[in-house]
Structure 1
Amino acid sequence: MSDLNNFLNKLNFNNQAILDAFKRDCLKGEPSSLIRLGDGEAKILGQAQKNNPNTVERQLKIWFGDRDFSNSEINEIRSDLLDSVIKAKYICAPTPERTFRLNPDDSFTNDANHCQELWRVLKEVRSFPAEKYVGSAVIHKHAQISKWFSEIFKLDRKFIFVTRSTKAIFRIAEAFSLRSFEAHILPGESWSRKERTSSHFPVRYRQVRDALGSPSTEGAIALIGGGILAKTYCRDVENAGGMAFDCGALFDGWADEVPEQRRANMGDLKKMSVGYLSSST
């Protein structure tokens, strides 16, 4: 444990530096992807499933609802996610504070245990040079509250939206007078929606991957909200010459449709809105 603690404490966590670097990529048209990782990804990537075979199955049901996954489907999700983790230009993951958070009895919280598992995987599959920055898993909220996204939406580039929310897309397009954009609409995650089973994977997943891999993605800025599968979409955009940002639940805020289960984690909902983002104050 001390080795992991020492490793994390040497990392240079700096959300603003990551956002500045991503914006420079957007200005230059430099292909890049920014992905965010947390406890859910740890359950898919980590070693916990070897000790408890139900870990992966339970997590997949949270995301995709009441359906079974074959071993080949699980391997596809895990392999695609791992490829994204290895090759993404910017990694945003739990901070040391979250990774080593304790319960009142001084045991690690369940979330901390999963974060530690995630970091063991990251430490094994990626290098983290001292001169490179790392972002926190909540960098998307920092980007929203600081109105960094308003700077991005004012850039003269094509935008690609990958999300369940058409309302969020059109609110953004109207508020910032986007001249060129395309949308790929996804089924929602079943845990926070009315759908008993999400049809996101595998059919829609593969369709969207094919679309993002087309030549039209080159030079575009992609804002992606698709749960664990968003990480792969980000990688597809970077491979095709675009710049991809893993926005996650921000699309809920932009649509003013934050599910009850997410409200506590979203903070001040007024600051998660398109109105806040586009205001001059």
Structure 2
Amino acid sequence: MKDILLEQIRKTEKLQRSLFYSTDKNPFHCTNELYELLKHAITKKEPFSMVRLGDGEGRVLAYPNLFNKDIFLNQVLTYQFGSSVVEELKRIFGDDYLQPSMTRLQSLILEAIKNADIIGAPSWLHFRDSINDTNIIPQAAQSVCLTTIEASVEKSVPIFDHFIFKPFHKEGLFNQLLKGLDQLTVISHTDITDQIASHFNLPKCDHIRIPGHQSFMQSGEFHYPTLYPEIESKINVERKGDVFLVAAGYLGKHYCNIIKKKGGIGIDIGSIFDGWAGKGRPDATANKAHLLKGSRTLYIHMGHHKTGTTSLQWSLKQSEHQLADSGVNFLTSNGSGNSSELISVTAHRSHIVAKPQKSFYELIANAKQGNAVISAEHLSFIEDEKEIEELFNFSKKYFDDVKIICYLRRQDKLAISLKQQAAKQPFYGASPSSAICGHDSDSVMPKFTFTLLNYLDFKSKIEKWRAIFGNQNVVLRIYDKKVLVDGCVCKDFSSILRLKKPLKSLKINEGLGVVKTKVKHFLLETKAPREIVSYVDELSFNDSNYTLVNKELRLPNILSKFYEDNTTLDLDKDLLACLNSPNVHTYMEPARAIAEITLEILNEAKQNKSIEIDKYKKVVEAYL
């Protein structure tokens, strides 16, 4: 086999120079010539295609000759599309999948080559190293590209080095090439259209997503043989001469061909895109000079608590790959997506002290290139302007823009829900919600304290964040189905991030139910032994087993003051109407005394689990 490969390489020694646009200078020095040809095509707005060929395409074009089956399988199909693609190939082509799958892929690339107006291929620059066991296969594959061009392409078609876009970018020629475009479409694994639009000063940049190369993006999707027809159908040339930049591996050649057929201009830029995005094969991302220095935005989601935060955080965590494809990094240190664990919170006599820890700041400092989002509802506890200012100054070291996203909720509903959350705690004061709301079991509304007042005082809180981050950088939303996008906090948050595909809707952190919530508050309020609290935590309560009555909540007078303050938040009238809704809050209560229900549970605990209840039972009986 080695002799065959050597012979293949030797017979292209002349072609390594003679095929190319200029034979009298270094191929990397032909950037201006390429620019003139591309600019002419864009100016004329005529259908046009430029494709690039490397050793990967060379292996495909060689099939079924030159290499053995293992190379076609492992260095072509599974290398780019992942090892699990084998089962998908069998599903579509049958057990003898190699021949039909390789032939189809080869035909797509070959047609793109024959229809191209400019081709990039390996010049003599890529054959300079002495042949050895490591490079003989890549060099032989590169040489196949040259023999294919000689046999299939008219001599008038300009041939440039397939890595020409590296010096092209370095010389700033992409800026000149794209200057004046009113629209650009990018076909790639990651959406960095914001950075591209910013860097090249474009009014509009669209994106068509493809599954990434399996060597660095395990998406579980099959670009080939399954998804490429769907991606092909998304190529919409609205106007003749619309420009598309394509970075899509083997199938990128095919997409450029389709773009030309539909009247557009397809330019296969390949791995230079990985350099722009800072995401891709190591050889493509190693040169940080290629990284687009577009503006970066950090989105800090600060809560409040009980505004769908848990559902949103889980959705963000489960959508990390989707976010990354859109150029957004989700910053988190755990599996839940909630970074509140990195905010130290201390309950004092009359107030809460909250402070981001060093590890919270490290997440921001270590964020990958692109935009980023972090979620920590404990940030809504911060009252000290110095902490807010420190967060602002630190974030601005790494990001051009910092947006604070804050969800508000009608104060009485927020207080009630926060108290329900407190019922989930194992002991009194175990969480900030427990410290703020207490565990009074007589009312669904927590007792009004100075600490609770500070937490619900949106006006004072938002004024502090706006004074430091700027009014335009503090985004206020109302947690109410009437004004959330599609009634869902996950979709609403997606609209703030400007995601083309919304986050998955999740509903997590459901309440304990009416009866269990009341029982837990009673246990925590009366300092029940841990064993009893743990027993009740594990019990499954069904509210339908109890008689419940509907009640209306008599609201504290202080809420009318909040309603006045809320009008100063500069909210849209629909948002303000939800926040200051005059509707009476109704809720369900057990018809029986909660101490009576608790006593029944204690007797069950003694009978079923042999838990000692006699001493605590006296406390419960005192409430009967």
Scaled to the shorter chain, the TM-score interval is: 0.7 to 0.9
User: Is 1:52 aligned to residue 60 of structure 2?
Assistant: no
Alignment of 1:237-276 (within 5 A): 237-257=259-279, 259=280, 261-263=281-283, 265-266=284-285, 268-269=287-288, 271-275=289-293
Equivalent residue for 2:430? none
Alignment of 1:125-140 (within 5 A): 125-129=152-156, 133-140=158-165
Larger relative CO (CA 8 A, sep 6+): 1 or 2?
1
- Quote the Cα distance in structure 1 between the aligned partners of 2:258 and 2:130: 37
- Quote the Cα distance in structure 2 between the aligned partners of 1:104 and 1:253: 29
Q: Taking structure 1 as reference, are residues 100 and 125 closer, same or farther at Cα in structure 2, changes over 3 Å only?
A: farther
Structure 1 SS opposite 2:159: strand
Partners of 2:245 and 2:268 within 8 A in 1:
yes
Equivalent residue for 2:41? 25
Equivalent residue for 1:16? 32
- Quote the Cα distance in structure 1 between the aligned partners of 2:268 and 2:183: 17
Partners of 2:275 and 2:287 within 8 A in 1:
no
User: Is 1:6 aligned to residue 22 of structure 2?
Assistant: no
Among 92, 96, 101, the alignment partner of 1:73 is 101
Task: State the 1:28 CA deviation.
Answer: 1.7
Q: Which range moved further: 18-27 or 246-255?
A: 246-255
Partners of 1:15 and 1:142 within 8 A in 2:
yes
Task: State the 1:146 CA deviation.
Answer: 1.1
Q: TM-score, normalised by structure 2?
A: 0.40
- Quote the Cα distance in structure 2 between the aligned partners of 1:266 and 1:134: 25
Among 111, 120, 125, the alignment partner of 2:147 is 120
- Quote the Cα distance in structure 2 between the aligned partners of 1:190 and 1:108: 22
Alignment of 1:34-113 (within 5 A): 34-47=50-63, 49=65, 51-58=67-74, 59-66=76-83, 67-68=85-86, 69=89, 70=97, 71-99=99-127, 101-103=129-131, 109-113=136-140
Partners of 1:49 and 1:55 within 8 A in 2:
no
Partners of 2:51 and 2:268 within 8 A in 1:
yes
Partners of 1:189 and 1:198 within 8 A in 2:
no
- Quote the Cα distance in structure 2 between the aligned partners of 1:189 and 1:268: 19
Consecutive unaligned residues of structure 1, counting only runs of 5 or more, are 277-281
- Quote the Cα distance in structure 2 between the aligned partners of 1:207 and 1:252: 23
Q: Specify the code of the residue in structure 2 equivalent to 1:90.
A: I
Instruction: Provide the aligned C-alpha RMSD in A.
Output: 2.5
- Quote the Cα distance in structure 2 between the aligned partners of 1:155 and 1:74: 41
The Cα offsets for residues 147-199 of structure 1, whole Å up to 9 and x where unpaired, read as: 11111332234211101111x2211123334223321111111112244x442
- Quote the Cα distance in structure 1 between the aligned partners of 2:68 and 2:131: 23
Q: Taking structure 1 as reference, are residues 49 and 148 closer, same or farther at Cα in structure 2, changes over 3 Å only?
A: same
Equivalent residue for 2:205? 181
- Quote the Cα distance in structure 2 between the aligned partners of 1:191 and 1:225: 15
Partners of 1:27 and 1:155 within 8 A in 2:
no
Q: Taking structure 1 as reference, are residues 268 and 79 closer, same or farther at Cα in structure 2, changes over 3 Å only?
A: same
**How many pairs are equivalent?**
266
Equivalent residue for 1:223? 245
Structure 1 SS opposite 2:151: helix
Structure 1 SS opposite 2:203: coil
- Quote the Cα distance in structure 1 between the aligned partners of 2:109 and 2:148: 12
Identity among equivalent positions (%) equals: 20
User: Is 1:200 aligned to residue 238 of structure 2?
Assistant: no
Structure 2 SS opposite 1:275: coil
Structure 2 SS opposite 1:245: strand
Q: Specify the code of the residue in structure 1 equivalent to 2:170.
A: I
- Quote the Cα distance in structure 1 between the aligned partners of 2:112 and 2:180: 26
Greater helix share, 1 or 2?
A: 1
Structure 2 SS opposite 1:97: helix
Partners of 2:237 and 2:259 within 8 A in 1:
no
- Quote the Cα distance in structure 2 between the aligned partners of 1:40 and 1:219: 29
Q: Specify the code of the residue in structure 2 equivalent to 1:122.
A: I
Structure 1 SS opposite 2:238: helix
Q: Taking structure 1 as reference, are residues 161 and 108 closer, same or farther at Cα in structure 2, changes over 3 Å only?
A: closer
- Quote the Cα distance in structure 1 between the aligned partners of 2:135 and 2:270: 26
Task: State the 1:242 CA deviation.
Answer: 1.2
Q: TM-score, normalised by structure 1?
A: 0.84
Equivalent residue for 1:279? none
Partners of 1:159 and 1:222 within 8 A in 2:
yes
Equivalent residue for 2:177? 152
Partners of 1:237 and 1:243 within 8 A in 2:
yes
- Quote the Cα distance in structure 2 between the aligned partners of 1:100 and 1:112: 10
Task: State the 1:16 CA deviation.
Answer: 2.9
Q: Specify the code of the residue in structure 1 equivalent to 2:155.
A: F
Task: State the 1:225 CA deviation.
Answer: 0.7
Partners of 2:47 and 2:260 within 8 A in 1:
yes
Partners of 1:33 and 1:238 within 8 A in 2:
yes
Structure 2 SS opposite 1:128: coil
Higher Cα Rg: structure 1 or 2? 2
Partners of 1:141 and 1:250 within 8 A in 2:
yes
Q: Taking structure 1 as reference, are residues 218 and 203 closer, same or farther at Cα in structure 2, changes over 3 Å only?
A: farther
Alignment of 1:162-177 (within 5 A): 162-166=187-191, 168-177=192-201
- Quote the Cα distance in structure 2 between the aligned partners of 1:217 and 1:50: 43
